[in-house]
Amino acid sequence: MKEQIRYINQSIDEKRNRLKEKVDIYFATIPSISVPQINQQKKGGKKQVPPISYLLYGVAGLSAIGAITSDSKFMCLGLAAISVLGGYKLSQVGNADTSIQTVAVDTIGSLKNEVVSKVLDSVKRTTKEWEDFMESKQKEIQTVLATSSENEEIKDAMYSKVFIYEIIDISISEFSNLINTSNSISDIRQNLSLYKVKLLSAIDNAANKQIAKYNSLVL
């Protein structure tokens, strides 16, 4: 029986390592965390013209009037042209800045949803594979106990030790809350990394506890 349990525990250790490798692969499929550079106003966005642009347009208008009513026509026309150009340039900078902020917010929101979805899928796959595996190991260990030479009282005590198998104890709602309260790309990146460490640790904890349970049968 001792040798059979040793073999089962070895398979648990191997499963642990395979699951951790798969978690690395799952998390590697999560999209690159970056914000695109925006040089033009977002289509359909509302224009935001800085107040100084209106001031320059006003100066241009007065200069144009001055060109008509004064003797310094060339100077007034030149000032009008410069003011119009300056107002236009500043209005475009304002529009671009607003567009970048709007698209950045939209991008972070979409990224949050995609990250949570992919991590949720990773956790579901990992825990499902572990549970399917442990159900098969439970059947194996029950067969080992049933065919052992121990008396029924000892067998019952052994059964009670391994009646329930260990699960991967990880909360997806905790991760969702972390991501939903993230205010920046940096926050999302950091929380994603922290949660991956927690998932890997949860796999280790489940495997270690299960191995200890089975080892207790032959101590």
* CB crowding 75-84: b at 16 or more within 10 Å, else e: ebbebbeebb
Q: Count how many domains the chain has.
A: 1
pLDDT at 127 (0 to 100): 97
pLDDT at 159 (0 to 100): 84
Tell me: the pLDDT tens digits for 119-132?
999 999 999 999 99
Rounded Cα distance between 9 and 51, Å, is 72
pLDDT at 96 (0 to 100): 43
pLDDT at 39 > cutoff 50: no
Rounded Cα distance between 90 and 52, Å, is 8
pLDDT at 100 (0 to 100): 38
Domain around 17: 2-215
Confidence bin at 206 (pLDDT 50/70/90): very high
Q: 145 to each of 29, 137, 159, how far by Cα in Å?
A: 43, 12, 8
pLDDT at 65 > cutoff 60: no
pLDDT at 49 > cutoff 60: no
